[in-house]
Amino acid sequence: MAECHPVGFQWVMEAKARGATVIHIDPRFTRTSAVADRYVPIRAGADIAFLGGVINHVLNSETYFKEYVLAYTNASTILTEDYADTEDLDGVFSGLNREDRFYDFDTWRYQGGDVRPASGDRSDPDERPHVRGRVRQASRGEAHGSGGAAASAWPETDDTLQHPRCVFQVLKRHFARYTPEVVEQICGVSQEQFAEVCRLLTENSGRDRTTAFVYSLGWTQHTTGVQCIRTAAILQLLLGNIGRPGGGIMALRGHASIQGSTDIPTLFDLLPGYLPMPHAWGNEDLDTYVRAETVQKGFWANTRSYMVSLLKAWWGDAATAENDFCYDYLPRLTGSHSTYETVLAQLDGTCKGYFLYGQNPAVGSANARMQRLGMANLDWLVVRDMVMIESATWWKDGPEIQTGEQRTEEIGTEVFFLPAAAHTEKSGSFTNTQRMLQWHHEAVEPAGDARSDLWFTYHLGRRIREKLASSVDDVDRPVLDLTWEYPLRGSLDEPDAEAVLAEINGWDAEQHPLSAYTQLTDDGSTACGCWIYCGVHADGVNQAARRKPGQQQSWVAPEWGWAWPANRRVLYNRASADPDGKPWSERKALIWWDEEKGRWVGHDVPDFIADRPPFFRPSEGATGPAAISGVDPFIMQADGKGWLFAPAGLVDGPLPTHYEPQESPFPNLLYGQQHNPVRQLLRHPENRYQPSGDQPGADVFPYVTTTYRLTEHHTGGGMSRFLPYLAELQPAFFCEVSPQLATERGLEHLGWATVVTARSAIEARVLVTERIRPLEVQGRTLHQVGLPWHWGPNGYTTGDAFNELAHLALEPNVHIQEVKAMACDIRPGRRPRGPALRELVRRYQERAGITDETGTEV
Amino acid sequence: MKSRTGRRDGGKQMVPEAEFTSYYGRPVLKETVWEADIPSYLFLGGLAGASSALAAGAQLSGHPELARTAKVGAAGAISLSLAALVHDLGRPARFVNMLRVFKITSPMSVGTWLVSAYAPLAMGAAASTVGRKLPRAGLAASAGAAALGPAVAAYTSALLADTAVPAWHDARRELPYLFVGSAATAAGGLGLLAVRPEAAGPAVRLATLGAAAELSAEQLLDRRLGPEAEPYRTGRAGVLLRTGQLLAIAGTGAALLGRRSRAVSALAGATLLAGSAVTRFAVFEAGRASVRDPKYVVGPQRDRLDARGG
Amino acid sequence: MAAEARALDPAALAGHRDHPPRMGFFTDTSICIGCKACEVACKEWNAVPEDGLLLTGMSYDNTQGLGASTWRHVAFIEQPGADHDGLRWLMSSDVCKHCTEAACLDVCPTGALMRTEFGTVIVQDDVCNGCGYCVSACPFGVIDRRPSDGGAHKCTLCYDRLGAGLMPACAKACPTESIQFGPLDELRERAGQRVAELHDAGRSEARLYGEDPDDGVGGAGAFFLLLDQPEVYGLPPDPVVTTRELPRIWRHAGIAAASLALAAVAACVSGRR
Ligand SMILES: Nc1nc2c(c(=O)[nH]1)N[C@H]1C(S)=C(S)[C@@H](COP(=O)(O)OP(=O)(O)OC[C@H]3O[C@@H](n4cnc5c(=O)[nH]c(N)nc54)[C@H](O)[C@@H]3O)O[C@H]1N2
Ligand SMILES: Nc1nc2c(c(=O)[nH]1)N[C@H]1C(S)=C(S)[C@@H](COP(=O)(O)OP(=O)(O)OC[C@H]3O[C@@H](n4cnc5c(=O)[nH]c(N)nc54)[C@H](O)[C@@H]3O)O[C@H]1N2
Ligand code: SF4
Ligand code: SF4
Ligand code: SF4
Ligand code: SF4
Ligand code: SF4
Ligand SMILES: [Mo]
């Protein structure tokens, strides 16, 4: 966190100054480790085993927060008899379709009277397995960024937690094998260190104390990424650390406003506010869409209002009840169209044009070579960036030109480069990891031809609409009917960003700004561009621009920026009070029930129905918010509870399981199942995988490499490698290795090393450092190779791009690449030049016996 | 990383303490930005200053030939010396900024004023002897130059000593004597080189006195600094210093023995001049060496601190 | 000389009347995270040029040290230590010390180096002639001459920002408040408390560096909390301003000059006899 979020890290340092204990778990000793109280080196890709071990410890030692677990989680919920766990099936769950590589989640269900079918069924009405598989792939899981998935609202429970099929018992059985010995064997973490972490975590959780987890890509960029966060979520629920001040799980996010770009997404499978993108199979009209995506209980029950208001924001007067509010204008998914599938589509010629707005896949995306090969197969490519990034210049000087595989004259892609304005040259909002929007004001107008992305998008749309103005073709209606009027400002005709914010916030039939999403209706009288952001422009005031200093307000600082939803700073904060509505402790009081006022009051905005008393119990059959009981803090969840067991929403299992990374020098010690069975593999000759574990040839790649960022550089390097002040701070691409590995492989400090995988070979300068430690894993010494991935061939400091080495094996819920754990070889010296480079890779493939099938087993 | 912690060599010439720590073996202090210009300046300034003194003495004691040579030499040397000084500036055009202020805390300021006062006098003196004009003014100029000359020759020792450079600062006691000695050797040398042996008596004696002063100052320095004189003993500086000593001894010897031979005497003069120059370079190099290796900075300070119990 | 400087404040000594309190830095290296924001902020604000693209292999320090084009420098030291199973990674942001008795200022022959009303030491670039004297005089190896323009450069303690009531750029950018800016008196007090806190927490290795008005430079205007000996960070353990010795140096130079005059006389006179 100190490395990549140094500004946020000030709060960690402040907490530390106030007595907090900081534990850092990372394969490398980083700037975070340097100031942490405890540093735990871990094998890359082994975090589920580690956290699973802690869960096992917490359950065995009964150090979980009993009242909290019983009242606020689904621990007591009973599962159906059909459910079979990894314990029963050697590492897979019931419902695995091996043929088409997906899970049917019918069996991962709560037991309960008139249970409505689980959401999976509702969104996958097609019975044909391959169709269901494709729908699964289209990330239904990601649709839950702001809340839970569908599940039965009135399941059977056992408050004694003794029922053999209750979640609590299932959990116990599931994690029983994650013993300290196993943790040691899998993670390379000594039992003493592990015990110490368990002790610190449990001692610091309970009524009086809370522990926060902070994670980022070390957990996510794995074929098991989402399940890793799930493991932490289970642990935090068990320890009672969710919905309480100082608790929670904080996802440190990436680019400025990457949170904003999932809220109002740049993702193929989402609409604003985590509304799922309609699928071609199953979401034929608004009614079926709403039925499929709506849950019985809680605020997702109002999906229709959110969706209709969104359609009204986009299509205004054209959206009427008669035409389903233009629901048909929305594009439909037919499967996964993540950035990586798009590359395959480019390679096979289906995708012919490509816009790159602030993205540098030629160095930043996994298997960078495939990215370039894909772009070389386009008709046109538009790059909008501030500098001449590799994605704009590969056709004249990219690695494939260097190896002689491509010749500039033979590349048919027409490449347009359009200079982009920087954030200082435009106004807009950033949404940070705390879900807080902060407004930034244009400081200067962009120089030269540079324009903001808002300018470009708006004026592109305007011109297209002008060109289509006389069209009578129905296919053009969605474009022509868009509400596309924004005030223009300044000499460059910059659209007013605040007008866009106002539209996102929404208005009622009289065009008055709305102030809360609870005002949204499904009759077309309200318009709202993103329901969770409703209120950011309440009273016509830009709430995101508020900057009242912290000293001038309460410790929650509600008047700095604006956090969705409803300016709440801690989600699910009903859980900060006990079932009777009293704070668990004075020290950790956040909101509580005020009997006299008949309301929830406190420091934060209550994330609960303001006047619903703790003792309220809904009548059987109630729906939506009315069905939330006084002890259901998780108001977005279908059952109001925190999910230890996830009956829906995840495509790869209701409980986390340790699987080895796609490429690992080790077999899975826990189960016969080596990998996540439903990990997403993209088969292509340029994307061959290596053998793993005990498979022959695995020893050709005996080391584990992981990638990471340096404080001094930013991602693909467009914003740092080109700047002298940053380039000079880390002026060369390097790899970090332990002294032991350096000796083993003859690597010299400041010399060169070549790192090889089945995809490519890259060279880097060598930094020998004690900060990288060999680990004892499964009875042998494992060396890890650290590689920062910021470099590429252009800019002021140049170097090979790590992503030449990376494969495309994706996490199945959110399609993230596995660039945090990969097997590799390392050798001294520089890599070969010209055609010899491909030859070296071919020889490695040959030595390891790699074919198109290697590594693709379920 | 490799040289994160350096260890002091246990060799007998070395600083005895067992260990010292540094930041990757990097210098703690900044190496001087001065280049060959500065030791040349030291040498030439010394030559000029001592020559002016010698000239006055020679004139008064009836050695007109020597006096003339010394005056001309002083003028030439101070001109070259000034050129070297200006050339060494990062911004030579701003040399005159030196005359914005007078600071007693800055030997360079004091020196610049000194030289600024001295140089015209030395040149006037030379012009008057060469042109045989304005004898009265020439006399005054010679007297002035002679009065300031020794200061010009000596202040450069303060210039070096008043720095953080260990080899220079630590030598602050001996450096003035070493420098005036060296200046005297040079002035004597010049006399020997340019004047008939018969007329160069004072030059021989001055050179002898100078060499004696120089060599004793070096001895004293070596003894007083003990292990910390290492930069003067080792490396390039060591070689230069020993060469300088040899040249001084050889030059003095030749001067004393070869009084009757013009050639021997000229050679002796050249040797003495060279010796003086080499010695200046030796001191300069010792300073550089003492900054380049952090042990010379850290070691003594650490010892001092440890001795204080800090 | 030392005693006077200790008692008086340098701005007043330099002739500033009714000057603001002496401002300085307390850099608490125990909370530095090595983000180098200070380095970059300094360069941005002061338009200091880039300083070379060398991979040094000195941990994450590719800046190497303070210099004409680096006015803040973050040191990285990987060392065997008590923390984390025997590994410690120290980070520390170094800067000009703005000495109470500043050798650079003392020796500057042009008056380019001056004491500001805030008690800080700055170079007036339009006066400096690049004589380089300050470079060899600074006991901390801070100031240096920039080859590209021939002038000497170093931290100004953001004189222009201070004048406008702003905090120096480096301190402003520092996310952890490792760099604390303020009136020197307050900083010294705060630093004392911080060390006491750390000692109470069992971190006996914490120590202050440069805060003592009785030290060799009369106390630094920018001082530090270190976790190891100063030399580990590339700092001199016991720097002394060179000009403390200057009176004695002048005396010896004077005697030497007189001796030279005498020698010249003696050489001439003795020959006549
Ligand atoms: N300076 C800087 N800041 C940035 C960025 C940048 O490029 N530069 N990028 C921004 C973006 S886009 C993002 S997404 C964030 C990312 O922020 P982070 O996720 O913090 O970034 P990374 O450095 O990629 O990875 C974090 C750490 O994970 C460790 N790690 C690798 N594999 C594993 C593993 O299997 N388990 C565990 N426990 N740890 C592992 C790495 O050693 C590394 O220290 O940072 C943002 N902030
Ligand atoms: N091996 C490996 N690969 C990784 C990761 C990893 O940890 N390891 N991390 C992954 C992660 S988390 C991320 S987020 C991606 C990042 O990788 P990319 O998404 O490719 O992002 P960047 O390299 O940051 O490219 C962003 C570009 O946007 C430009 N830019 C900046 N501001 C603007 C603007 O306002 N408008 C426009 N049009 N352009 C702008 C910048 O100049 C820069 O070139 O990389 C991923 N790839
Ligand atoms: S770059 Fe921006 S977002 Fe990232 S840490 Fe610095 S201030 Fe925060
Ligand atoms: S540290 Fe050096 S440059 Fe800074 S004030 Fe002191 S003597 Fe001058
Ligand atoms: S280099 Fe400039 S600042 Fe330094 S002493 Fe010389 S004139 Fe003064
Ligand atoms: S005070 Fe100003 S000039 Fe000095 S280091 Fe900080 S930013 Fe740079
Ligand atoms: S900005 Fe602060 S935390 Fe970052 S390196 Fe500088 S002193 Fe350390
Ligand atoms: Mo990211």
DSSP A47-112: HHHHHHHHHHHHHHTT-S-HHHHHHHBSTTBBBPTT---TTTTTS--TTEETTTTEE-GGGS-B--
Instruction: Confirm whether A791 is domain-assigned.
Output: yes
DSSP state of A628: -
Task: Provide the residue range defining the domain that includes A323.
Answer: 267-334+504-541
pLDDT at residue B9, rounded to an integer: 40
Could you say which of A492, A523, A541 is where a domain stops? A541
Q: B37-75, pLDDT tens digit by residue?
A: 999 999 999 999 999 999 999 998 889 999 999 999 999
Assess whether pLDDT exceeds 60 at residue A145: no
Closest residue by CA, ligand 1 atom 22: A708
Assess whether pLDDT exceeds 70 at residue A343: yes
| Distance (Å, whole) CA A532 – CA A272 | 8
Count of structural domains, chain A: 2
- Phi/psi class of residue A751: alpha, beta or left (left: φ > 0; alpha: ψ in -120 to 50)? beta
Q: How far is the CA of C37 from the centre of ligand 7 (A)?
A: 6
Assess whether pLDDT exceeds 50 at residue C273: no
Q: How far is the CA of A38 from the centre of ligand 1 (A)?
A: 19
C-beta atoms of B106 and C108 within 8 A: yes
CATH architecture assigned to B35-305: Up-down Bundle (1.20)
Q: How far is the CA of B15 from the centre of ligand 4 (A)?
A: 28
Alpha-carbon distances, residue A845 vs A666, A687, A757 (angstroms): 19, 12, 8
DSSP string, A695-732: STTGGGS-EEEEEE--TTS-TTSTTTTT-HHHHTTS-S
pLDDT at residue B12, rounded to an integer: 36
pLDDT at residue A408, rounded to an integer: 97
Contacts with B29 (C-beta within 8 Å, 6 or more apart), sequence order:
B164, B165, B291, B297, C136, C138, C139, C140, C141, C236
Segments making up each domain of chain B, as ranges: 35-305
Angle C47-C48-C51 (CA atoms, 0-180°, nearest 5)? 145
CATH number, position A758: 2.40.40.20
* Percent helix, strand and coil across chain C, each to the nearest 5: 35, 20, 45
Q: How far is the CA of C242 from the centre of ligand 6 (A)?
A: 25
| Distance (Å, whole) CA C12 – CA C6 | 12
Residues of B in contact with A768 (CB under 8 A): 1
Please give the residue of chain C at the shortest CA–CA distance from B176: C253
pLDDT at residue B259, rounded to an integer: 80
pLDDT at residue B18, rounded to an integer: 46
Closest partner residue to C33 among A2, A771, A797, by Cβ? A2
Residues of B in contact with A769 (CB under 8 A): 1
C-beta atoms of A730 and C60 within 8 A: yes
Q: Please tell me if the CB atom of residue C32 comes closer than 6 angstroms to any atom of ligand 7.
A: yes
Residues of B in contact with C127 (CB under 8 A): 94, 97, 100
Residues A537 and A686 reside in one and the same domain? no
Assess whether pLDDT exceeds 70 at residue B7: no
Assess whether pLDDT exceeds 90 at residue B19: no
Assess whether pLDDT exceeds 80 at residue B242: yes
Assess whether pLDDT exceeds 70 at residue A121: no
Q: B288-297, pLDDT tens digit by residue?
A: 999 999 999 9
The arithmetic mean of pLDDT across residues C233-257, rounded, is 96
Q: Which two tokens stand for residue A783?
A: 């060396």
Q: How far is the CA of C67 from the centre of ligand 7 (A)?
A: 18
pLDDT at residue B15, rounded to an integer: 41
Instruction: Confirm whether A721 is domain-assigned.
Output: yes
- With an 8 Å Cβ cutoff, the interface of chain B facing chain A consists of 1-2
Assess whether pLDDT exceeds 90 at residue B173: yes
Please give the residue of chain A at the shortest CA–CA distance from B3: A749
In total, chain B counts a number of residues equal to 310
pLDDT at residue A666, rounded to an integer: 98
pLDDT category at C193 given cuts 50, 70, 90 is very high
The arithmetic mean of pLDDT across residues A145-149, rounded, is 50
| Distance (Å, whole) CA B294 – CA A427 | 52
| Ligand 4 mutation pick, C23, C72, C73, C96, max ligand atoms within 8 A of CB | C96
Q: Please tell me if the CB atom of residue C121 comes closer than 6 angstroms to any atom of ligand 7.
A: no
pLDDT category at A625 given cuts 50, 70, 90 is confident
Helices A191-203 & A47-60 angle (0-180, nearest 10): 60
Contacts with C272 (C-beta within 8 Å, 6 or more apart), sequence order:
B61, B62
Q: A225-247, pLDDT tens digit by residue?
A: 999 999 999 999 999 999 999 99
Residues of A in contact with B1 (CB under 8 A): 749, 768-769
Please give the residue of chain A at the shortest CA–CA distance from C62: A729
pLDDT at residue A137, rounded to an integer: 57
Range of lowest pLDDT (A34-48, A705-719, A767-781, B2-16): B2-16
pLDDT category at C86 given cuts 50, 70, 90 is confident
| Distance (Å, whole) CA A356 – CA A349 | 18
Q: Please tell me if the CB atom of residue C104 comes closer than 6 angstroms to any atom of ligand 4.
A: yes
Q: A539-581, pLDDT tens digit by residue?
A: 999 999 999 999 999 999 999 999 999 999 999 999 999 999 9
Range of lowest pLDDT (A17-26, A663-672, B131-140, C85-94): B131-140
pLDDT at residue A620, rounded to an integer: 78
pLDDT at residue B6, rounded to an integer: 38
Average pLDDT value for chain A: 93
Assess whether pLDDT exceeds 50 at residue C22: yes
Alpha-carbon distances, residue C240 vs A672, B296, C2, C135 (angstroms): 70, 14, 10, 15
Question: Could you tell me which residues are beta bridge partners of residue A786?
Answer: A706, A736
Q: Please tell me if the CB atom of residue C154 comes closer than 6 angstroms to any atom of ligand 4.
A: yes
pLDDT at residue B16, rounded to an integer: 41
| Distance (Å, whole) CA A729 – CA C70 | 11
Assess whether pLDDT exceeds 90 at residue A626: no
Secondary structure of residue A196 in the 3-state scheme = helix
pLDDT at residue A648, rounded to an integer: 86
The arithmetic mean of pLDDT across residues C147-155, rounded, is 97
Q: Please tell me if the CB atom of residue C146 comes closer than 6 angstroms to any atom of ligand 5.
A: no
Please give the residue of chain B at the shortest CA–CA distance from C137: B163
User: What ipTM, to 2 d.p.?
Assistant: 0.93
Please give the residue of chain A at the shortest CA–CA distance from C198: A17
Q: Please tell me if the CB atom of residue C138 comes closer than 6 angstroms to any atom of ligand 7.
A: no
pLDDT category at B5 given cuts 50, 70, 90 is very low
Q: Please tell me if the CB atom of residue A715 comes closer than 6 angstroms to any atom of ligand 2.
A: yes
Alpha-carbon dihedral angle through residues C244, C245, C247, C253, given to the nearest 10 degrees: -150
Q: Which two tokens stand for residue C134?
A: 């300050």
Touching subunits of A (3+ CB pairs, under 8 Å) are B, C
Query: Chain A closest CA to B2's CA: distance in Å?
Result: 9
Instruction: Confirm whether A438 is domain-assigned.
Output: no
Alpha-carbon distances, residue A462 vs A395, A416, A482 (angstroms): 31, 20, 10
pLDDT at residue B1, rounded to an integer: 34
pLDDT at residue A132, rounded to an integer: 59
The arithmetic mean of pLDDT across residues B163-177, rounded, is 96
Touching subunits of B (3+ CB pairs, under 8 Å) are A, C
Question: Could you tell me which residues are beta bridge partners of residue A735?
Answer: A766
